[in-house]
Amino acid sequence: MEINLFNDFHLEAEQSGILFYYSGDFTQNVIGTIAEILKQRLDKQDPKGVGKRIFSTFIELAQHALNFTPKIDKSIKPVGAVMVGKKSEKFFILLGSLVDNQHVEKMAKVILQVNSMTLEELKVAYHEQLITIEKDNEEELSFLKIARTSCFPIEYKVKQIRDMHQFSELYLKVIF
């Protein structure tokens, strides 16, 4: 039974253009390992340099997952899921992680603001944020950096978790 499930999963992933998928602990060590695997796979898949943008975006999203994951207990590690794929000649990256409700409203506001900007406005805003780096604007800087490299607006979805009402799941999708 499990072999069939694995075969079905593998076939579905292949048909959907999934190049990489991970779900589990999201620690600095895990992120480093994923980054190395992604770099190798993207170098093989993409001779045009889009892989570098995806790699950079993965790092930004992973840092977001680490920085905004609920701090319940030091013994509990942040968890998340990441998927990178290619469909219709466009690469995509999805990241899902837990986020404190206190960050969700600001994050949604930042993403909507960033998505409404032109490329030139993104460049200017990014450079302004670099000059005034503060702990409060790290999230904005991160999404500005992602938006500057993506071909399409950042997609996101927030879902309340029933068992943990004080947290929300965040799914970010970036297409290149």
Rounded distance between C-alpha atoms, residue 101 and residue 23, angstroms: 22
Pairing state between β 90-100 and 79-87: antiparallel
In terms of C-beta density within 10 A (0-12 exposed, 13-18 middle, 19 or more buried), how is residue 121 classed?
middle
Q: What would be the CATH architecture of the domain defined by 2-175?
A: 2-Layer Sandwich (3.30)
Pair 164, 71: CB distance under 8 Å: no
Confidence of residue 166 (pLDDT cuts 50, 70, 90): very low
- Say if residue 103's pLDDT is above 60: yes
Confidence of residue 76 (pLDDT cuts 50, 70, 90): low
Per mean pLDDT, which range of 21-25, 42-46, 102-106, 140-144 is the poorest?
Answer: 42-46
146-158 average pLDDT score: 86
84-97 average pLDDT score: 85
pLDDT at 143: 87
127-134 average pLDDT score: 79
- Say if residue 164's pLDDT is above 60: no
What Cα–Cα distance (Å) separates residue 171 from each residue in 57, 59, 99, 108, 126?
A: 14, 15, 10, 11, 23
69-94 average pLDDT score: 79
Confidence of residue 135 (pLDDT cuts 50, 70, 90): low
